[in-house]
Structure 1
Amino acid sequence: MFGATGVNCDADAHALADTAAAAPAACSGTIYLTFDTGSQSQAELIAGMLHKHDVKATFFLANEKTVRGDWSLDPSWAPFWKARVAEGHAFGSHTFDHVYFQRDLPDGRIVVKPQFGAHGGKPETWTRQQYCDEIRRVDARFTELTGRHIDPYFRTPGGHTSPNILKAVASCGYKHVGWAPAGFSGDETSSSQFSNAVLLKRALDNLKAGDIFMAHMGIWSRKDPWAPADLEPLLVGLKQKGFCFATLHAHPDYQLETTKPQ
């Protein structure tokens, strides 16, 4: 059908419909992907998948032993971390020596057990200031490696917090970041009991807008690694459900002062 000007209206309508079909749908919500360091066996794969799908994530860093025989915050990892900075990801502290919480003491001190470092495997009793110093060690090393400070985000190894830890974290200007129940990737579990197919389905079925998702950049104990099987299907599946992705900079609870609306 032609209009008064001689323009083919049917053709225009089809063209508009095609354009609308090709245009991406508006986000139905945002998922915040986060990755903790680990064995780093999946580090390059994770980085590649995020880049391929134009997804930004938040990385929580500790100086952990890697499958390369070095440590995740060694100078040998500087090119990897510099590349992630250039891609626009966010970064937080996971304690330098991957320090596990043991218990709070009534005087405000914290009993901890570092996994790595000079005191690895030995219980220690720290003041809040010592806990802050441990968090800041990550920032100092990351700045040496990349020229960029980490963001004021912190996650305890194992995700275990306590009143004394939260007070220590707040006193040195950081916010603790956990994850949503549906955001537990399960990559630390036994692959014989929780297959990658089961973990993927659970995430796709249950993640909802605003959820923080947590996985590791490699787990020594899992026989069938999570990321090679599940990361790309997770990204594609969530996008097909209308979700977008962002760093914690965009999360309402963790926005930086410079990014908050005026």
Structure 2
Amino acid sequence: MTGIYLQQQNWQSAEQWLNEEVVVVFPLGAAAKEHGPHLPMNTDAVTANWLAEQVRQRLPVVIAPLINASFYPAFVEYAGSISLQAETARDFIVESCLSLAAFGVKRFYVINNGVSTERPLGMAQTILQKHAVTLEYLRLLNIVEQLPAGLFQQNWGSHADEHETSLMLHIAPELVDMSKAVDDGSEGEGLLSRIRGQGIWSESGVYGQATLATADKGRVVAEALITKVIDDISGLIVKV
């Protein structure tokens, strides 16, 4: 049985789906966050929505609308990047879940396509527990650690890098301009910065070696993501 998109239903249909047994899945990915000169600013949103569709095709879940902004302090120096306070991002998640919990939903999963986003998600998880509501979410760095040894060659990085660019070459190659891909961000520590000496120095916004990316590598990342997300959500479904 496949799932549905909440936003495509009428309210009567939504009422039939929203109950104590269903898992509601929120894709979370920035619609406006820099990803270097070679990737669009909605890279996170594209990836989160793509993963949500893979889930919908495989599991009887309700896919809620994309959460397209969150806590992204590392990117605020780059034009167009939108970042919320952690508490604002937390409250949006909590109130969205509680809105649907009013109709019986007790289990939520966030397809989290970020790292700094884990802070507001963790805070939201604690609050929702007090309402007898379960919130789980994808932890991206765990996926990277599980990828086959030797597949990726980059020596540093975790943003708009070999991993992320490869994934986009696999799922949305038409959005990638490899002629503009660069290796950047090898100097400094902390948040990304366009100013040398004030963090991880990256004039391009890339943190890693994007030039090493290939679609074949991206397929491996995509398969690992699908497996992890499906396993996570399946674990929630059986907890009835």
Given the two structures, how large is their TM-score scaled by the length of structure 2? 0.35
Given the two structures, how large is their TM-score scaled by the length of structure 1? 0.33
User: Which structure shows the bigger proportion of residues in helix conformation?
Assistant: 2
The higher relative CO (CA closer than 8 Å, separation ≥ 6) is in 1
